[in-house]
Amino acid sequence: MQSRALRTHDGFLYMLSSPPASQCDRAPPASTAEKLCSTIPRRSKTEIEYKPTDDPRINDLGRAISDDFATIRENYTTPKNPIVLAHGLLGFDELRLGGDLLPGIHYWRGITDAMRANGIEVITASVPAAASIEERAAKLGQDIAEKANGKSVNIIAHSMGGLDARYMISQLRPENVNVVSLTTIATPHRGSSFADFCLNEIGPYYLPRIYKFLDSRGVATGAFNQLTRKYMRMEFNPKTPDAPGVKYFSYGAMHKPGFISWFRQPHAIIQKLEGPNDGLVSVESAKWGTYKGTLVGVSHLDLINWKNRLQWFFLGLAGVESNFNAIAFYLDIADMLAKEGEL
């Protein structure tokens, strides 16, 4: 397969298949090769890493994935069934702040374009941003029933989207929806200690008033209480068993936030109470079904390709280059699903 470059809706350039990393260390013979190699994240000798040995608890958290998804491979197997992408808390499909005057902001930034260009049929679900799991799950099932046209589907879910999918599969079982696999990415299956912290800090006096204010403006708030560790342990998980015939896979992530990162406080809180985490969800909480491994040096937003170009620029000046390419990660998940019993 020849290398191809894809310019997505937001003008950013991604590769569908890239030359080996070693080719990027030599002077390329053509300008096209220069463009391709310039988009490949390469590891630096001075790269800041969160090594698995930094925390002894990582020994119980599965395989550490440090650079498996640094570059896009030349070939990926395409699954025969559509892939549904289910977003997390406060997520969306496409957000347009400037109407038709400005490009839309996509939750799955560049990921859907790359998957479709690789021959994968992709369905993007859009559920209420902060509604309860039950409400979000009902909308997820509705989206799949309307868009899959009776085909069986594989669901890939980020963050809270994995809880929506689990509830839909186990409890709702909507007609015309047949899920053959669910892959969750940094989903808080056991809740989040940061959710506990936020609710405790706000307190029982102000919390109902905040909810009432948001509800009066049409903003559903059911999700927040449900993301606590107590709710997931005592309520959700006991009532939401895995469905027979559905394959469950999961990934977790961990990183060390920088000094000015907004993940700094939540990361510290979760680290103290739960161990390694991606800034919002601990690795331990992310484990469900067949655990595929822990992505090292990857934040909760890196998982959906939201590290912006300005941030990459300053990291480059500091001699730090990423060893994680979100596009390569999702293409690899699709490849894995295609090979797991032809899902």
Check residues 8 and 291 and name the one with the higher pLDDT: 291
Element (H, E) at 316: helix 309-317
pLDDT digits (tens, 9 = 90+) for 225-264: 899 999 999 999 999 999 999 999 999 999 988 777 778 8
Residue 34 has pLDDT above 50, yes or no: no
pLDDT for the residue numbered 201:
80
pLDDT for the residue numbered 20:
37
Question: In the structure, what pLDDT confidence band is assigned to residue 216 with cuts at 50, 70 and 90?
Answer: low
Question: In the structure, what pLDDT confidence band is assigned to residue 209 with cuts at 50, 70 and 90?
Answer: confident
Query: For the chain, which domains are there?
Result: 48-339 (3.40.50.1820)
Determine the average pLDDT of the residues in 123-145: 93
Check residues 287 and 4 and name the one with the higher pLDDT: 287
Write the burial class of residue 178 (CB in 10 Å: 0-12 exposed, 13-18 middle, 19+ buried).
Answer: middle
Q: pTM of this prediction?
A: 0.78
